[in-house]
């Protein structure tokens, strides 16, 4: 019995399994029918990147490692020329993983691992690349992966990859070392930075300048972290390579030894490196030695330093002088002063103060004045501090007569102001910090002088009325303060007085004097500097000058620093500090996150914004409402809807009692940023917990109207009116004309009436809006009625209303009325708007009233001289649109006489207008003029011009114009390329056409979206299939899917060239794009298979069509049946003939006869029907023998 059509369907899998030729040919069906169905979307993604490679994979029964390598190589080649989006690499990664996951024994080729890892790193998919780590052999991949992790601040991952690389005997590149060490320093990972830095130095000489810089940062970090020995060893290692190290590093090592009080090792270090310390470092050492071990040892240490080449300065000797005075060794102090002066140095004021204090301490007050006089003689003007120490000394000695003299000198120097009634002695006590009410100088009136402590110049007995012990202690403390200057207390006082300028001067001075600002004072100063936005440079300098103190800053101060840097736009510095804070688990304030996120988003730095956004969200950040509004506006400007919605959720959770304000702010911002649709969706989610107020409704309506979403605006309006709320004036004025356009007159009139009722002073505005709406829809009767209503209400017409009336009557083509209105406008002196002028000119030109249009032009030029060019452009456009090219030439002459120069818009009007008037020579003239003037014609004009030249047979001129475009880098779109190439092909210049297309590609003159469908057809017709394929590939790479016809032509072309495999590749790709081939394409494929003796595969086409719900054509059935017949496979021929008949076709006589002629040798095998032979049964079932 013959098989039926249903049986043929069931035999589908059997047919496939029984075929004997190359199995790779068989899988031409859609990939969704195969086990690789999950990969289909990924293959489609890759088809838009490397279609030539992906195309060969559609029919593969099994994805082999070699196939994956082929895909990767194609992708790698493509990535070398263009930037690939991460989604494409993700698809490639899914295909790469699929082979190993689904097929036991599948093992990628080593080169595949290298390429895949390289591509993953290229787009930032580092974790995926890390999965391939132990299969990699390429140093470059490891390098790139380390650099990638550094780029996203994953220092632990970068060190892990670095260690893995070293463990496999590979050496990173020098640039890789540099970026890794740089990150570790920024993240304060001291030990890791030291280890990697040591490895870098082990690479040997020469060390570049950048490498030295990064190594020096490691050395400083080691010192700051107390690892002086490690820093010393690293310095020695670098110096051994004949490289130099900056003095800053030596200073930091010296400071590190100073903290440890290890002066012996410090000296040995400078001996070892054969280098003398800087003055700043040496002064720190001398100052510490004096304070810890005395001046004598400090002096000996100074001699050691001098033997190394150190040259002390006046500050160095000043330190020794001060500490000598502190120890009461005035002789030593004077000796050092003598050495200082012998070397030509001028003592600092602090040194003089120390000497004066020292003299008073040992009772040599008679020489104190000599020191002051010497200061003045040497040109050093004494300041308050010098007079203060002198006053303290004389007060200690009860020489109040000298004190009075000093107060007078201070007044004469302008250091103090003394009123006539003010007692000089009381002023002196104030200067010393004593309360004049508690410390008084009194005369002893007792005849026995029992209270007298001292006598004045005329012999009066005087005494101090105060607590003498307390007085003495205070005076001694003042004197002691000036022996060795206490800069910390001075800085503290200046900070307390908010005198930051003086505080910074003192900090700079104290560093030279070998003193270090204490952490409390340092923190306070940094905090105050951050609060003063004009001092941000001082913050940076302070942090760089004192890295140890900067490293110890508390989290509160660091928050202030990040905020200050962010607000000043110093985002790199802000990020470095914030990263270190996060790494050390410091608390980051909400204000700090907000301060950084705001400028990052505003400047469009989305990579960093997303990173810190995620960090802030993880750390429960929530800004204040004002910052919420500002930052949300920036987020919406960047169209980051996901983050905007997340931001709303954060705020609602953080401020449960402020939900209403938060929601109103959110809806307001979205409505003003072109995201009103999203605002409405959010509003639906928030209801019924949240109700819009009057302002919220108005914001939504404004936003929807500005976005042109008027139907939604009407819905919001309806809801608003249902709640007995009326839109504000500007929203109503926007809505009224649109309501008229939508034929919702009742609502438009209602809004007008609401305005009249609630805001009667704006009744005129409401009437104008409604009249404009009626005119727009052509309802002249209602518009005129409303106008008369205005007049009856004594609402005086003005120029705004006149312009509306003119525009309305122009739309209605009522030129008589327009003329009347224009006359009124002229008499009243009302100014016509450019919109009204445009309406008028268009109406006049359409009616052929050119002279009127010219007169109107003169009127407008008189009214609005600055808009002269726009007025001429409007006139030219409308004249040319109505075929008045001769008048335009006169206008152009007039413009030339008036020195009105055509702009780009005017030139484009001329080019297009003359083309419309079929004045091609004039059009091309102005096109050429534009180009020569450096103006760019519009894309439309370029398309029109080249299309016209090609259609007119002026191919050479079209090519010349194209050449001008190429020289200027102007894009050739689909129309231009198609016109030129088609003309070249029609002239038989096939090679020139291909060269032209190659040039477009090489010079990047093809737009991002291109359509070559027509050219694909043309090249197929000319037998240039390779060029057609190239064009199709270009379309796909530019994310444009060719139409089915393009595939049809290619498939038929390759079939004609007997390239059946290639034809099947395109056929499979076509099906996977869900494109339907033409019937004649499938017929040709069936024919080619049968012709090549692959009849079973031809039959497969029929089976696939039936499974897809389609019916094969008679021609297909006949072709396959004949092929089986020729191959002596009569059984299958008979089965197919039965299927053909069940499909509604009647086999022709030729098919039957060919079967009958081959049945003589066939014996009937039907035991149930021996009386009827096979031939009789066949003829009966096929309709040739009918029962009677």
pLDDT at residue 15 above 50? Answer: no
What distance in Å separates the CA atoms of residue 718 and residue 1124, rounded to the nearest whole number? Answer: 73
Neighbouring C-beta atoms of residue 970, cutoff 10 Å: 17
Residue 57 pLDDT: 84
Within a domain: 1137: yes
Residue 981 pLDDT: 92
Residue 25 pLDDT: 38
Q: Between the CA atoms of 701, 707, 711 and 716, what dihedral angle is there, to the nearest 10 degrees?
A: -20
pLDDT at residue 350 above 70? Answer: yes
Percentage with pLDDT > 70 across the chain? 91
Per-residue tokens: 17: 């399994």
Q: Which residue has the higher pLDDT, 873 or 23?
A: 873
Percentage with pLDDT > 90 across the chain? 14
- How many angstroms from the chain centroid is the CA of residue 507? 40
Lowest mean pLDDT among 356-370, 400-414, 449-463, 538-552: 449-463
Within a domain: 297: no
pLDDT at residue 597 above 90? Answer: yes
Question: Which DSSP string do the residues of 843-904 spell out, in sequence order?
Answer: HHHHTT-HHHHHHHHHHHHHH-GGGHHHHHHHHHHHHHHTT-HHHHHHHHHHHHHTT----H
Residue 980 pLDDT: 92
pLDDT at residue 591 above 90? Answer: yes
**pLDDT-derived band at 10, boundaries 50, 70, 90:** very low
Residue 790 pLDDT: 78
Neighbouring C-beta atoms of residue 827, cutoff 10 Å: 8
Per-residue pLDDT tens over the stretch 1071-1081? 889 898 998 88
pLDDT at residue 384 above 50? Answer: yes
Residue 722 pLDDT: 84
- Listed residue (353, 448, 548, 542) closest to 560, CA to CA: 542
Residues 184, 222 contacting (CB under 8 angstroms): no
Within a domain: 589: no
Within a domain: 601: no
What distance in Å separates the CA atoms of residue 30 and residue 37, rounded to the nearest whole number? Answer: 9
Lowest mean pLDDT among 385-399, 446-460, 754-768, 866-880: 446-460
What distance in Å separates the CA atoms of residue 96 and residue 71, rounded to the nearest whole number? Answer: 10
**pLDDT-derived band at 1175, boundaries 50, 70, 90:** very low
- How many angstroms from the chain centroid is the CA of residue 1122? 66
Within a domain: 854: no
Residue 1031 pLDDT: 93
Phi-psi region of 105 (alpha: psi -120 to 50; beta: other; left: phi over 0): left
Bridge-based pairing of strands 461-465 and 440-443 is antiparallel
pLDDT at residue 1178 above 90? Answer: no
Q: Which residue has the higher pLDDT, 820 or 287?
A: 287
Per-residue pLDDT tens over the stretch 507-540? 998 888 988 889 999 999 999 998 887 888 888 8
The answer to whether the Cα torsion of 951, 953, 956, 960 is positive or negative is: negative
Residue 457 pLDDT: 61
Give phi and psi for 624, each to the nearest 5: -75, 165
Q: Is the peptide bond before 1156 cis (omega within 30 degrees of 0)?
A: no
The answer to whether the Cα torsion of 607, 612, 618, 624 is positive or negative is: negative
695 by DSSP, 3-state: which? helix
Lowest mean pLDDT among 257-271, 293-307, 576-590, 993-1007: 257-271
Lowest mean pLDDT among 18-32, 121-135, 1147-1161: 18-32
Q: How much is the mean pLDDT over the chain?
A: 83
pLDDT at residue 550 above 70? Answer: yes
What distance in Å separates the CA atoms of residue 86 and residue 1132, rounded to the nearest whole number? Answer: 51
442 by DSSP, 3-state: which? strand
Within a domain: 169: no
Position of tokens 């506006």? 633
Q: Indicate the number of domains in the chain.
A: 1
Within a domain: 721: no
Per-residue pLDDT tens over the stretch 60-105? 877 888 888 888 888 888 776 667 788 888 888 888 878 777 776 6
The answer to whether the Cα torsion of 518, 520, 523, 529 is positive or negative is: negative
Residue 1066 pLDDT: 92
Domain span holding position 1100: 1-21+1094-1162+1170-1188
What distance in Å separates the CA atoms of residue 525 and residue 505, rounded to the nearest whole number? Answer: 12
Per-residue pLDDT tens over the stretch 899-922? 888 899 999 999 998 888 888 888
The answer to whether the Cα torsion of 600, 602, 605, 611 is positive or negative is: positive
Residue 1167 pLDDT: 43
Lowest mean pLDDT among 600-604, 689-693, 711-715, 895-899: 689-693
**pLDDT-derived band at 449, boundaries 50, 70, 90:** low
The pLDDT of 251-264, averaged and rounded, is 85
Half-sphere exposure of 1059 (CA within 13 A, CB side): 14
What is the three-state SS of 395-462?
HHCCCHHHHHHHHHHHHHCCCCCCCCCCCHHHHHHHHHCCCCCCCEEEECCCCCCCCCCEECCCCCEE
Residues listed for the chain: 1188
Neighbouring C-beta atoms of residue 639, cutoff 10 Å: 12
Q: Which helix H or strand E contains 465, and what residues bound it? A: strand 461-465
Residue 7 pLDDT: 41
**pLDDT-derived band at 14, boundaries 50, 70, 90:** very low
Residue 524 pLDDT: 92
Beta bridge partners of 462: 443, 454
Beta bridge partners of 442: 463
pTM over 0.85: no
What distance in Å separates the CA atoms of residue 700 and residue 232, rounded to the nearest whole number? Answer: 67
What distance in Å separates the CA atoms of residue 217 and residue 185, rounded to the nearest whole number? Answer: 7
Residue 995 pLDDT: 92
Per-residue pLDDT tens over the stretch 613-639? 999 999 999 888 888 889 998 988 888
What distance in Å separates the CA atoms of residue 418 and residue 434, rounded to the nearest whole number? Answer: 17
The pLDDT of 275-297, averaged and rounded, is 89
Beta bridge partners of 463: 442
Position of tokens 């059509």? 5
The pLDDT of 116-129, averaged and rounded, is 79
pLDDT at residue 485 above 50? Answer: yes
pLDDT at residue 439 above 80? Answer: no
Residues 318, 289 contacting (CB under 8 angstroms): no
Question: Which DSSP string do the residues of 215-243 spell out, in sequence order?
Answer: HHHHHHHHHHTT-HHHHHHHHHHHHTTT-
pLDDT at residue 188 above 60? Answer: yes
Lowest mean pLDDT among 371-380, 442-451, 778-787, 1019-1028: 442-451
Lowest mean pLDDT among 664-678, 891-905, 1167-1181: 1167-1181
Neighbouring C-beta atoms of residue 859, cutoff 10 Å: 16
1010 by DSSP, 3-state: which? coil
Q: Which residue has the higher pLDDT, 1125 or 887?
A: 887
Residue 275 pLDDT: 83
The pLDDT of 940-964, averaged and rounded, is 91
Question: Which DSSP string do the residues of 277-342 spell out, in sequence order?
Answer: PPHHHHHHHHHHHHHHH-HHHHHHHHHHHHHTT----HHHHHHHHHHHHHTT-HHHHHHHHHHHHH
Per-residue pLDDT tens over the stretch 738-777? 888 888 888 888 888 888 888 888 888 888 888 888 888 8
Position of tokens 């056929």? 1067
**pLDDT-derived band at 589, boundaries 50, 70, 90:** very high
What distance in Å separates the CA atoms of residue 740 and residue 130, rounded to the nearest whole number? Answer: 63
Within a domain: 8: yes
- How many angstroms from the chain centroid is the CA of residue 198? 36
């Amino acid at each position: 019995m013959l098989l039926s059509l249903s049986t043929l369907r069931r035999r589908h899998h059997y047919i496939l399994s029984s075929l004997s030729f190359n199995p790779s040919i068989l899988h031409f069906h859609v990939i969704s029918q195969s086990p690789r169905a999950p990969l289909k979307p990924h293959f489609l993604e890759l088809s838009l990147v490397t279609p030539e490679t992906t195309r060969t994979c559609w029919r593969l029964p099994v994805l082999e490692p070699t196939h994956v390598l082929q895909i990767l190589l194609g992708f790698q080649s493509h990535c070398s020329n263009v930037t690939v989006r991460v989604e494409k690499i993700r698809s490639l990664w899914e295909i790469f993983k699929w082979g190993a996951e689904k097929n036991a024994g599948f093992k990628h080729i080593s080169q595949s691992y290298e390429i895949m890892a390289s591509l993953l790193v290229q787009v930032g998919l580092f974790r995926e690349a890390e999965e391939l780590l132990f299969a990699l052999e390429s140093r470059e991949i490891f390098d790139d992966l380390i650099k990638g992790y550094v780029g996203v601040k994953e220092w632990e991952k970068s060190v892990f990859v670095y260690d893995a690389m070293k463990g496999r005997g590979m050496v990173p590149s020098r640039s890789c070392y540099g970026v890794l060490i740089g990150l570790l320093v920024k993240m304060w990972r001291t030990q890791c930075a030291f280890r990697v830095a040591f490895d870098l130095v082990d690479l040997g000489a020469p060390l570049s300048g950048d490498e030295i810089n990064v190594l020096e940062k490691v050395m400083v970090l080691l010192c700051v972290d107390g690892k002086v020995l490690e820093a010393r060893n690293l310095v020695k290692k670098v110096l051994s390579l004949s490289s130099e190290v900056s003095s800053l590093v030596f200073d930091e090592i010296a400071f590190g030894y100073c903290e440890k009080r290890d002066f012996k090792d410090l000296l040995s270090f400078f001996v070892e490196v054969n280098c003398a310390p800087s003055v700043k470092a040496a002064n720190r050492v001398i100052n510490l030695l004096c304070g810890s071990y005395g001046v004598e040892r400090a002096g000996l240490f100074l001699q050691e330093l001098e033997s190394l080449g150190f040259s002390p300065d006046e500050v160095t000797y000043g330190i020794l002088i001060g500490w000598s005075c502190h120890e009461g060794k005035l002789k030593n102090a004077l000796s050092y002063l003598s050495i200082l002066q012998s070397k030509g140095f001028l003592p600092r004021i602090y040194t003089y103060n120390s000497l004066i204090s020292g003299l008073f301490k040992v009772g040599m007050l008679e020489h104190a004045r000599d020191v002051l006089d010497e200061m003045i003689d040497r040109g050093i003007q004494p300041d308050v501090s010098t007079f203060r120490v002198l006053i303290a000394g004389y007060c200690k000695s009860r020489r109040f007569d000298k004190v009075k003299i000093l107060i007078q000198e201070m007044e004469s120097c302008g250091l103090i102001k003394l009123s006539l009634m003010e007692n000089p002695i009381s002023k002196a006590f104030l200067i010393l910090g004593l309360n004049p009410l508690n410390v008084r100088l009194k005369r002893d009136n007792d005849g026995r002088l029992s209270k007298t402590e001292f006598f004045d110049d005329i012999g009066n007995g005087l005494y101090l009325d105060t607590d003498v012990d307390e007085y003495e202690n205070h005076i001694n403390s003042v004197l002691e303060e000036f022996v060795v200057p206490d800069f910390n207390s001075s800085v503290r006082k200046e900070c307390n007085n908010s005198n930051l300028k003086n505080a910074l001067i003192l900090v700079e001075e104290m560093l030279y004097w070998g003193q270090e600002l204490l952490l409390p004072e340092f923190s306070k100063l940094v905090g105050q500097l951050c609060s003063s936005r004009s001092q941000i440079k001082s913050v940076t300098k302070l942090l760089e000058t004192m890295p140890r103190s900067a490293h110890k800053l508390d989290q509160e101060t660091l928050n202030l620093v990040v905020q200050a840097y962010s607000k000043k736009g110093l985002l790199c510095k802000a990020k470095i500090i914030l990263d270190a804070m996060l790494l050390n688990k410091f608390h980051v304030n909400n204000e700090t996150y907000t301060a950084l996120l705001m400028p990052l988003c505003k400047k469009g730095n989305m990579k960093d914004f997303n990173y810190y956004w995620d960090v802030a969200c993880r750390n429960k950040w929530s800004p204040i409402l004002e910052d919420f509004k500002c930052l949300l506006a920036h987020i919406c400007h960047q169209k980051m809807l996901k983050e905007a919605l997340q931001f709303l959720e954060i705020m609602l959770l953080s401020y449960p009692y402020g939900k209403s304000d938060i929601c109103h702010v959110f809806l307001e911002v979205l409505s003003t940023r072109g995201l009103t649709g999203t605002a409405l969706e959010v509003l639906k989610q928030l209801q019924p917990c949240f109700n819009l107020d009057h302002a919220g409704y108005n914001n939504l309506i404004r936003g929807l109207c500005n976005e042109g979403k008027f139907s939604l605006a009407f819905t919001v309006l309806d809801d608003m009116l249902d709640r007995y709320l009326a839109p504000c004036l500007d929203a109503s004025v926007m809505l009224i004309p649109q309501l008229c356009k939508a034929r919702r007159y009742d609502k438009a009139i209602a809004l007008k009436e609401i305005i009249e009722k609630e805001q009667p002073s704006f009744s005129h505005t409401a009437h104008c809006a409604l009249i404009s709406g009626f005119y727009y829809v052509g309802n002249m009767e209602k518009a005129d009625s409303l106008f008369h209503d205005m007049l009856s209400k004594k609402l005086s017409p003005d120029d705004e209303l006149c312009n509306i009336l003119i525009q309305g009557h122009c739309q209605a083509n009522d030129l008589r009325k327009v003329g009347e209105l224009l006359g009124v406008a002229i008499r009243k002196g009302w100014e016509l708007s450019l919109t009204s002028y445009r309406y008028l000119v268009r109406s006049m030109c359409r009616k052929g009233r050119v002279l009127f249009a010219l007169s109107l032009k003169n009127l407008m030029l008189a009214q609005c001289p600055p808009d002269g060019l726009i007025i001429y452009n409007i006139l030219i456009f409308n004249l040319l649109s109505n075929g008045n090219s001769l008048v335009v030439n006169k206008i152009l002459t007039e413009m030339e006489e008036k020195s009105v120069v055509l702009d780009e818009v005017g030139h484009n009007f001329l080019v297009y207008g003359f083309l419309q008037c079929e004045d091609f020579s004039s059009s091309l003239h102005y096109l050429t003029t534009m180009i020569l003037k450096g103006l760019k014609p519009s894309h439309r004009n370029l398309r029109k011009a080249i299309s016209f030249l090609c259609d007119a047979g002026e191919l050479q001129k079209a090519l010349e114009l194209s050449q001008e475009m190429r020289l200027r880098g102007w894009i050739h779109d689909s129309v231009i390329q198609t016109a030129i190439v088609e003309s070249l092909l029609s002239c038989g210049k096939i090679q020139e056409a291909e060269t032209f297309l190659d040039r477009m590609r090489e010079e990047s003159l093809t737009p991002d979206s291109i359509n070559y469908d027509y050219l694909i057809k043309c090249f197929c017709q000319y037998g240039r299939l390779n060029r057609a394929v190239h064009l199709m590939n270009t379309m796909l790479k530019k994310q444009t899917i060719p139409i089915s016809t393009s595939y049809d032509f290619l498939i038929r072309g390759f079939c004609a060239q007997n390239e059946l495999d290639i034809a099947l590749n395109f056929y499979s790709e076509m099906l996977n794009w869900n494109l339907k081939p033409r019937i004649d394409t499938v017929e040709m494929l069936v024919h080619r298979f049968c012709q090549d003796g692959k009849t079973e595969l031809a039959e497969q086409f029929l089976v696939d069509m039936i499974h897809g719900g389609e019916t094969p054509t008679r021609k297909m059935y006949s072709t396959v049946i004949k092929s089986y017949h020729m191959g002596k496979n009569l059984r299958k021929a008979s089965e197919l003939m039965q299927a053909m008949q069940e499909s509604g076709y009647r086999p022709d006589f030729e098919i039957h006869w060919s079967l009958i002629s081959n049945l003589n040798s066939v014996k009937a095998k039907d035991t149930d029907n021996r009386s009827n032979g096979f031939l009789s049964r066949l003829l009966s079932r096929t309709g040739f023998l009918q029962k009677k």
